[in-house]
Structure 1
Amino acid sequence: MNAPFDQLSAWLKEHKITEVECVVSDLTGIARGKIAPTNKFLHERGMRLPESVLLQTVTGDFVDDDIYYDLLDPADIDMVCRPDSAAVYVVPWAIEPTAVVIHDTFDKQGNPIELSPRNVLKKVLKLYTDKGWQPIVAPEMEFYLTQRCEDPDLPLQAPLGRSGRAESGRQSFSIDAANEFDPLFEDVYDWCEAQGLDLDTLIHEDGPAQMEINFRHGDALDLADQITVFKRTMREAALKHNVTATFMAKPVGDEPGSAMHLHQSVIDIATGKPIFVDDNGQMSELFLHHIGGLQKYIPKVLPMFAPNVNSFRRFLPDTSAPVNVEWGEENRTVGLRVPTSSPEAMRVENRLPGADANPYLAIAASLLCGYLGMVEKINPSAPVQGRAYERRNLRLPITIEDALAHMEDCPTIEQYLGSKFVRGYVAVKRAEHENFKRVISSWEREFLLLSV
């Protein structure tokens, strides 16, 4: 710990940082933690937080007492949070020189906290390391820019661009439509460069003011950290320009949802060569087994890709999201697309995760499914030629309740992710759904108020 912490200390002093935001990710992906003066942070070498923040719902509530006290110490004890010197980022929009430092969480005996999303991803990555493999991922983040609105009962509206007009019609891949928000994205790219975020391309997606930013491929844990920082950066840049950036899976009715597509491949650590191709440059058996594992186990981990009731609105018919775990080459109607590439870049794109998913958990779940396919030697179905939207034989759960039932009833997922994590995650998502069901929607008032 001393050498990495000494490097972190030197970095903070070099950048004249006066405040440190010490954060951990909760199950939703919300940054929880403390803000400390740099001197205090260096003296304490981390922080302590109540374990209970990892069983907090998106509304700030907690799970039922019987689950809460079964998974956590009844005394609501603290967990030990230690800074990761490889996960340090400046905060370019802060008034004072500020850095955010992502922490890992441990109990008093030094054991990783099972409920921590970052620890879950580390657990999955160790499975690969133990086999001599290293997964490589490349995320694609979709999101909407909208007008700012204080009333949650009102539908979101497309923002005004530089022309003073809101978009109309579909503007997929339009350069001019993306350039409507040039000042905002200039700040985004400047801030991301200052933070060392490895962004690649900016694309205008199908919906009005719906954008996509791609990340360059790299280490899975590093990119999960980067996505966490990027989402906050994007929101801050939007606020500066008097609009809102949202990563909800389905923020606008009758418009496409927002995904977090995950490209994933694996290299052999000893040789540095990809294991998804054989000596002839064709798909290897390990690659096909990887796809087979994704097909078999994605239905069991779907809540880690689609964590909210809103997530499943993205899977409604005619929404352009593939509600299947079919696979095919250069086919965007399947859940598992194999893009055209050189043999060295052979990969599968998991198109099911939503932009609202916790990046640590979505990447962990996707990689775990592929890993299980490789170690269990699961053969995939035949690749799909043509349109796959209407195929039913590999259809997924289409409600959050059904998806949670699939997750908690899978012994294999519990074995690899841990009983405490699975039980805690399912309990948090059920508590959120119970909260949602208490809200009377505008649809009910419009069609039932005077008709039933």
Structure 2
Amino acid sequence: MKKLETWMKENQITEIECVVSDINGIARGKITPVSKFIAEKGMRLPESILLQTVTGDYVEDDIYYDLLDPADIDMICHPDPDAIFLIPWALEPTAQVIHDCYDRNGLPIHLSPRNLLKKVLRLYEEQGWKPIVSPEMEFYLTRRCEDPDLPLQPPIGRSGRQETGRQSFSIDAANEFDPLFEDMYDWCELQGLDIDTLIHEEGTAQMEINFRHGDPLQLADQVFVFKRTMREAALKHDVTATFMAKPVSNEPGSAMHLHQSVVDIETGESVFSDAQGKMSELFLHHIGGLQKYIPEILPLLAPNVNSFRRFLPDTSAPVNVEWGLENRTCGLRVPDSDPQNRRVENRLPGADANVYLAIAGSLLCGYLGMMKKINPSAPVQGRAYERRNLRLPLTLEAALERMEHSKVIREYLGPEFVKGYIAVKRVEHENFKQVISSWEREFLLLSV
């Protein structure tokens, strides 16, 4: 706490947002004066928030009471001194501190996404390995809209005109929103977020922010904070930033591409390259693990009904776990690089995924491949979009069922987490099925 107290004093902080990530990546917690934060050295929250759905509902009672104390007790949340960030948009000097969740015996809560990522990172550490990741976040800017039944529209830029058509990598199209992005960059710098390049993506008013490579837990924290920051910067300029996987019909979906590599802890050298600088056996096994196990952890990468709309035909998303060199039609792309920076880019996660869970799941798949010496398929030459080998589940229901029956995933992620996660997603899916869509009203109302 001494480190936190010093930092808060130097920055004249008067208020603290104590936050944890729930299963959907939503920031939940308490807002407290600095004096109370220092006195209590953490916070207590109902452990039930870790089984709360995106709609605010909870799982069925039999699952709820099997995983949580029937008395709806509190969990103990301790601040991580390395996860404190300024909140530049607040009216008073305010910071947010990411907390870790423990039970009353001081043990990590299994349902906590941040704890799950730490659990996977420990698997690597036990082998003398350290993973390195670099996320790429895609998102859309849209007009503000109060009616969820209305389709989203592109916002008005500096020119006073609405963007039309697709403007991949257009500097001028990105500059239409310069005032917004200047605030975003300033706020990210104040928070110490390691963002790198901004590009205009393929979709209308679709953007991408790339993060510099680094420690997976630190990068997960930064993406968690960045999504809040981007939304706040957009609201300041009277537009909306959305990380939905497929927010606009007939436009590309938004991904969270994950570049991942592994180095030796002692030497810092990449274990993905051999002494001759070529692809190592560990690298090929890492890819083999991604190919074999991504279909079993897909709900961590595509957690919502909307996530699977990104995988529909002609949506520019690679719906496969093929791999290839510099091949963006593969779900697993190996960028051209020098031996020390050899990596694989997992192109399957959606921007809507909980970043802690997406990184944990992707790294776990690679780890299992390395430990079980799983050989990958042959790399793809040419287009992989039409490939049917190693096909992924194409609906959320099918993906949840596959994850539920995976003994390996239950063993490594823990039966409590798998059961709780699947239960939350099934409640959300049942809620979705209760909603009558505009398609049904348009084509069935007077026709059947």
Give the TM-score normalised by structure 1: 0.99
Letter in 2 for 1:119: N
Superposition deviation, residue 393 in structure 1: 1.1
In the alignment, structure 1 residue 400 sits paired with structure 2 residue 392: no
In the alignment, structure 1 residue 186 sits paired with structure 2 residue 145: no
Query: How many angstroms apart in 2 are the aligned matches of 1:121 and 1:412?
Result: 17
Query: How many angstroms apart in 2 are the aligned matches of 1:325 and 1:49?
Result: 39
Correspondence 1:52-67 to 2 at 5 A = 52-67=48-63
Corresponding residue of 2:334:
338
Equivalent in 234, 242, 246 of residue 250 of structure 1: 246
Q: Percent identity?
A: 77
In the comparison of the two structures, how many residue pairs are matched?
448
In the alignment, structure 1 residue 211 sits paired with structure 2 residue 207: yes
Query: How many angstroms apart in 2 are the aligned matches of 1:420 and 1:344?
Result: 38
Corresponding residue of 2:7:
11
In the alignment, structure 1 residue 320 sits paired with structure 2 residue 316: yes
Corresponding residue of 1:134:
130
In the alignment, structure 1 residue 363 sits paired with structure 2 residue 359: yes
In the alignment, structure 1 residue 389 sits paired with structure 2 residue 388: no
Letter in 2 for 1:232: R
Equivalent in 195, 200, 216 of residue 196 of structure 2: 200
Deviations 1:276-324, CA, capped at 9 Å, x for gaps: 0011111100000000000000000000000000000000000000000
Letter in 1 for 2:54: V
Superposition deviation, residue 224 in structure 1: 0.3
Deviations 1:145-195, CA, capped at 9 Å, x for gaps: 000000000000000100011111110000000000000000000000000
Corresponding residue of 2:143:
147
Equivalent in 164, 172, 194 of residue 168 of structure 2: 172
Equivalent in 144, 158, 164 of residue 162 of structure 1: 158
| 3-state secondary structure, aligned to 2:310 | helix
Query: How many angstroms apart in 1 are the aligned matches of 2:64 and 2:430?
Result: 16
Query: How many angstroms apart in 1 are the aligned matches of 2:390 and 2:403?
Result: 16
Equivalent in 275, 285, 296 of residue 289 of structure 1: 285
Superposition deviation, residue 394 in structure 1: 1.4
| 3-state secondary structure, aligned to 1:218 | coil
Query: How many angstroms apart in 1 are the aligned matches of 2:32 and 2:374?
Result: 49
Superposition deviation, residue 208 in structure 1: 0.7
Query: How many angstroms apart in 2 are the aligned matches of 1:288 and 1:334?
Result: 15
Corresponding residue of 1:35:
31
Letter in 2 for 1:179: N
Deviations 1:189-236, CA, capped at 9 Å, x for gaps: 000000000000000000111000000000000000000000000000
Query: How many angstroms apart in 1 are the aligned matches of 2:16 and 2:110?
Result: 25
Superposition deviation, residue 365 in structure 1: 0.1
| 3-state secondary structure, aligned to 2:273 | coil
| 3-state secondary structure, aligned to 2:447 | coil
Equivalent in 326, 341, 350 of residue 354 of structure 1: 350
| 3-state secondary structure, aligned to 1:35 | strand
Letter in 2 for 1:406: R
Deviations 1:223-265, CA, capped at 9 Å, x for gaps: 0000000000000000000000000000000000000000000
Letter in 1 for 2:437: S
Query: How many angstroms apart in 2 are the aligned matches of 1:396 and 1:39?
Result: 51
Corresponding residue of 1:421:
417
Correspondence 1:38-49 to 2 at 5 A = 38-49=34-45
Deviations 1:28-59, CA, capped at 9 Å, x for gaps: 00001000000000000000000000000000
Structure 1's consecutive aligned runs of 4 or more residues displaced over 3 angstroms after TM superposition are none
Query: How many angstroms apart in 1 are the aligned matches of 2:280 and 2:446?
Result: 61
Corresponding residue of 1:241:
237
Superposition deviation, residue 350 in structure 1: 0.1
Letter in 2 for 1:12: M
Query: How many angstroms apart in 1 are the aligned matches of 2:109 and 2:156?
Result: 45
Letter in 1 for 2:193: L
Query: How many angstroms apart in 2 are the aligned matches of 1:309 and 1:253?
Result: 14
Corresponding residue of 1:274:
270
In the alignment, structure 1 residue 378 sits paired with structure 2 residue 374: yes
Query: How many angstroms apart in 2 are the aligned matches of 1:314 and 1:395?
Result: 15
Corresponding residue of 1:265:
261
Corresponding residue of 2:85:
89
| 3-state secondary structure, aligned to 2:208 | strand
| 3-state secondary structure, aligned to 2:83 | strand
Query: How many angstroms apart in 2 are the aligned matches of 1:440 and 1:301?
Result: 29
Query: How many angstroms apart in 2 are the aligned matches of 1:341 and 1:174?
Result: 25
Letter in 2 for 1:226: Q
Deviations 1:88-139, CA, capped at 9 Å, x for gaps: 0000010010000000000010100000000000000000000000000000
Corresponding residue of 2:111:
115
Letter in 2 for 1:152: P
Letter in 2 for 1:222: Q
Superposition deviation, residue 343 in structure 1: 1.0
In the alignment, structure 1 residue 70 sits paired with structure 2 residue 70: no
Query: How many angstroms apart in 2 are the aligned matches of 1:49 and 1:186?
Result: 36
Query: How many angstroms apart in 1 are the aligned matches of 2:442 and 2:61?
Result: 37
Corresponding residue of 1:104:
100
Give the TM-score normalised by structure 2: 1.00
Letter in 1 for 2:218: D
Corresponding residue of 1:431:
427
Q: CA RMSD in A?
A: 0.4
Deviations 1:399-433, CA, capped at 9 Å, x for gaps: 00000001010011001100000000000000000
419-428 vs 6-15, which moves further: 6-15
Query: How many angstroms apart in 2 are the aligned matches of 1:373 and 1:137?
Result: 17
